[in-house]
Amino acid sequence: MANPVARNHAERVFSVARNVAAVIDDSGIASSWRRCLVDHKLDPARRGPPRTLSQSELREHVAPVDRLIHLAMPELEELYRVLRSAGYCVNLADTNAAILVSRLPDGEAAAILRRWKVHTGSVFSETVEGTNGLGTALAEQRPVLVHRDEHFREQWSQFTCAVAPLFDHAGQLTGAVNITSCRGDLDRGAHQLAFAVMAQSVRRLEETIFRSHFRDGWIARLPAEGGGGPVLIAFDDDRRVLGASRAARHAFGLSDTMIAAGTPLSQLLELDAAVPWRSDEPQVLHDRAGRRLGHGQISSPPRARPPTAGRPSVGTAQVGDQRFAALLQLAGGDPALRRGVKRLMMVADEDIPVLLQGETGSGKDVFARAIHAASGRAQGRYVALNCAALPESLIDAELFGYEAGAFTGARRDGCKGLVAQADGGTLFLDEVGDMPLALQTRLLRVLENREVWPLGAAKPVRVDIRLISATHRDLELMIADGGFRADLYYRLRGLRVELPALRMRTDKVEVIARIAAEEAPCARLSSGARELLLAHPFPGNMRQLRHVLRLAGCTAENGLIVEADLDLPPSARRAPLPDLEAAERNVIVATLRVHPGRMEDAARALNISRATLYRKIKALKISPPGE
Ligand SMILES: Nc1ncnc2c1ncn2[C@@H]1O[C@H](COP(=O)(O)OP(=O)(O)OP(=O)(O)O)[C@@H](O)[C@H]1O
């Protein structure tokens, strides 16, 4: 042990850890030191950089928390804006203490943090790096401030880090937010303010995560006590609890089992059914025993909010209508897609079924949600059903519901099936081409009779639903092969809209710029990176583009995304020269989209005869575009 400072530090660590019981350990530092020595067998004098993840390891860490990163970015950017000039870096880490997003401050501080690898890809778990902000906060699942020589390893003594663990909608640990400073002129107390700012930002982020998860439910927000997280309870229209934040679980003793059993909200709060809640306004809430809890807020799901005034009636849809803004934004500048959206706008208030056709990741789900939100049924529920993911045994009960005691294991009060839940709203049948034939027959009956027959029920229940379905399959080919019922197809395809693959969009340049601004707001695309993105075929379409840019936003240095930041498969880094067949297919599909339903014009544009065009369409298995 060459360095006397390191030796003194190590001696202090050994002495404190031996006498943990005797020291005042409000900050938990002494207990952590002891854990590092006794449990993790670490050496406080060891020097060396933290472990850093390779690009592919980083990808594996990012994938499971992709949505979290997406939700967290605006809050992290705001925190960074506030703390950057004070010399703090802002990091988001996963539960393994691997930094996935990093924003470095200006000037010399950034150089020091970079030299010590306090940035994206480094791992700061307590079991390897000893007591440190990220590792210790995650190990103890509580906010911690580790100031200079409170670090287990002497080499980290130039830093102060404050970290708050992040809990998801179910109260489970999902990551941590960290701010780190290397300013030697500030004492522990001086860092407390930044710590408090960061903790507040984490509380807001936890609320965002919760609200995003329960976006279709009601949410009660109760006054929070002390420094705990937000106290939030989600519940359904029948006032049964759907979920609760970590702090709400503690406050009301709510367990997963109680939530799964659909505990009535009345067991937690005093509810006066006669008094309608004033949605989103602060109001005094009481517990079930009538004790005043203080000011809280109850927010209704978007569908239950009153419609905007002056909603236009059938057939008067205008491009300028605010309610269509989301749909038009999704369509971007692609002319064929804009034509599809205009047709959707014309029938927004009609109950005409819509069939969305497109490759994976082309936006079928987001389009379906936007169609529902722009429709006259926006106040009703949007219920999505993935037909490919339904276990055969659950189909009937899930879809059509059951009466109390219909079978062993059934809920005591029965269950409303998904179809009935969409009553008054929209039912989205995703991957409809993957629906088993037996279910196709049962669904057809529901659509024909507009009623469902729950298991064990004496009479059917009438339902009023609008159907949107989506598939990446060619249903007409499936009909020809006997894999899909023709009668069901014609019921589903009222208005067919094809969502083009990203590589076929004529507005790819603008799409890339828009998604880059959303996913990597603090970074600029270098011209090399832009070229690479434009040339890439993106088999995963918009989803893949978002993922690639989100990751690039995490790894970009100095706010510039370069080619190396783009996680594109090496073999596909340059778009392969398409083979003749693929090239022909692309040209024909693009031409048919420009001349929908007008074969004569399409053939003329391609400079081939109509008969040749039909032959090519058949040979290349191209599905005819929607009218
Ligand atoms: N036009 C668009 N503009 C911006 N983002 C989009 C657009 N379309 C899709 N996305 C984004 O791409 C991702 C995938 O979209 P979505 O889930 O709707 O695709 P999908 O076609 O339903 O995919 P799958 O068939 O695999 O279920 C989402 O993050 C969505 O926000």
The proportion of the chain whose per-residue pLDDT surpasses 70, expressed as a percent, equals 88
How confident is the model over 193-228, as pLDDT tens digits?
A: 788 888 888 999 999 999 989 988 889 999 876 667
Please return the burial class of 5, using the count of CB atoms within 10 Å of its CB with bins 0-12, 13-18 and 19+: exposed
Distance between CA atoms of residues 31 and 21, nearest Å: 9
The whole-number average pLDDT for the span 588-610 is: 78
Question: If you take atom 13 of ligand 1, which residue's CA is the nearest one?
Answer: 543
Does the pLDDT at position 352 exceed 80? yes
Question: If you take atom 5 of ligand 1, which residue's CA is the nearest one?
Answer: 542
User: What's the CA-to-centroid distance between 384 and ligand 1, angstroms?
Assistant: 14
Residue 505 CB contacts under 8 Å (≥ 6 apart), including other chains: 332, 334, 337, 511
Report the pLDDT value the prediction gives residue 558, as an integer from 0 to 100. 81
Question: Quick one: CA dihedral 258, 261, 264, 267, positive or negative?
Answer: negative
Report the pLDDT value the prediction gives residue 99, as an integer from 0 to 100. 95
Strands (E), 37-172: 51-52, 89-93, 99-103, 122-123, 144-147, 160-167
Q: Which of 115, 101, 102 is nearest to 158 (CA)?
A: 115
The whole-number average pLDDT for the span 454-476 is: 87
The CB of 139 under 6 Å from ligand 1? The reply is: no
The whole-number average pLDDT for the span 558-585 is: 67
Task: Give the confidence band of 394 by pLDDT, cuts at 50, 70, 90.
Answer: low
The CB of 443 under 6 Å from ligand 1? The reply is: no
The CB of 543 under 6 Å from ligand 1? The reply is: yes
How confident is the model over 150-179, as pLDDT tens digits?
A: 999 999 999 999 999 999 999 999 999 999
Please state the ipTM of this predicted complex.
0.97
The three-class DSSP label of residue 146 is strand
Does the pLDDT at position 318 exceed 60? no
Report the pLDDT value the prediction gives residue 574, as an integer from 0 to 100. 43
The CB of 357 under 6 Å from ligand 1? The reply is: no
Check: CB of residue 224 under 8 Å from CB of residue 230. Answer: yes
The CB of 237 under 6 Å from ligand 1? The reply is: no
The CB of 362 under 6 Å from ligand 1? The reply is: yes
User: What's the CA-to-centroid distance between 525 and ligand 1, angstroms?
Assistant: 22
439 C-beta neighbours (distance < 10 Å), count: 16
> 51 has which bridge partners?
123
Question: Quick one: CA dihedral 441, 442, 445, 446, positive or negative?
Answer: negative
Question: If you take atom 12 of ligand 1, which residue's CA is the nearest one?
Answer: 543
The whole-number average pLDDT for the span 529-558 is: 89
Q: Which of 396, 383, 376 is nearest to 422 (CA)?
A: 383
Mean pLDDT is highest, among 126-135, 230-239, 511-520, for 126-135
- Return mean pLDDT, the chain: 84
Task: Give the confidence band of 307 by pLDDT, cuts at 50, 70, 90.
Answer: very low
116 C-beta neighbours (distance < 10 Å), count: 17
Question: If you take atom 3 of ligand 1, which residue's CA is the nearest one?
Answer: 330
**Matching residue, tokens 């107390």:** 189
User: What's the CA-to-centroid distance between 534 and ligand 1, angstroms?
Assistant: 18
Question: If you take atom 4 of ligand 1, which residue's CA is the nearest one?
Answer: 330
Does the pLDDT at position 579 exceed 80? no
Check: CB of residue 74 under 8 Å from CB of residue 111. Answer: no
DSSP state of 25: -
N- to C-terminal Cα separation, the chain: 78
Domains in the chain: ranges and CATH: 4-211 (3.30.450.40), 214-304 (no CATH), 322-498 (3.40.50.300), 502-572 (1.10.8.60), 580-619 (1.10.10)
Q: What is the DSSP string of 195-209?
A: HHHHHHHHHHHHHHH
